Amino acid sequence: HALAVEGVMRYFARKRGEDEEKWGVIGLVHDLDYEQFPEEHCHKSEEILKEKGWPEEYIRAVVSHGWGLCSEVEPQTELEKVLYAIDELTGLVVTTALVRPSKSIMDVKVKSVKKKWKDKRFAAGVDRSIIEKGAQMLGMELTDLLADTLAGMQEVAEEIGLKGV
């Protein structure tokens, strides 16, 4: 998941003329604490990153991705809003790819993701309201957010294990 989010963050950074390394590394570490400390998600990341001397801007971005779930830090910057919007969405895109016979994200089209989006039982753990709120915060149509997220993930298909069988 972290590699997919990193790839999408890099894609958005390039598209917006932002610092790709910065956006990518924040995407990579955004769930740093989740496996070991799921009950303290976001809070433990903040603690760990502060101890390691990470810039406050990076820490704030990581913490803000959990806004309304495990954090009260609302996304404010474009970077924070993108991370908030695409975190859950990458899960929906991965699941859409995995149900295809090829298991390849390269075969996934935006219309396929939109169709799966409408089926609330499909990838039921994906909170669609967060994705919708993120798209609104970015001033993007949901279809455009889906398209950009898919494109970013397709760029890293091999790294995320979705190049296909």
Write out pLDDT tens, residues 112-144: 999 999 999 998 888 899 999 999 999 999 999
Confidence tier at 4 by pLDDT (50, 70, 90): very high
Confidence tier at 38 by pLDDT (50, 70, 90): low
Residue 73 pLDDT exceeds 80: no
- What percent of the chain has pLDDT above 90? 68
Residue 2 pLDDT exceeds 90: no
Average pLDDT over residues 77-105: 94
Map tokens 């958005």 to a residue.
Answer: 12
Residue 32 pLDDT exceeds 80: no
Residue 41 pLDDT exceeds 70: no
Residue 47 pLDDT exceeds 90: no
Cα 78 from chain centroid (whole Å): 13
Rg (CA), the chain: 15
> Distances in Å between the alpha carbon of 71 and those of 17, 28, 46, 66, 97?
28, 18, 11, 5, 30
pLDDT at res. 158: 94
- In the three-class reduction of DSSP (H, G, I as helix; E, B as strand; rest coil), residue 99 is classed as coil
Domain residue ranges of the chain, discontinuous segments joined by +: 2-155
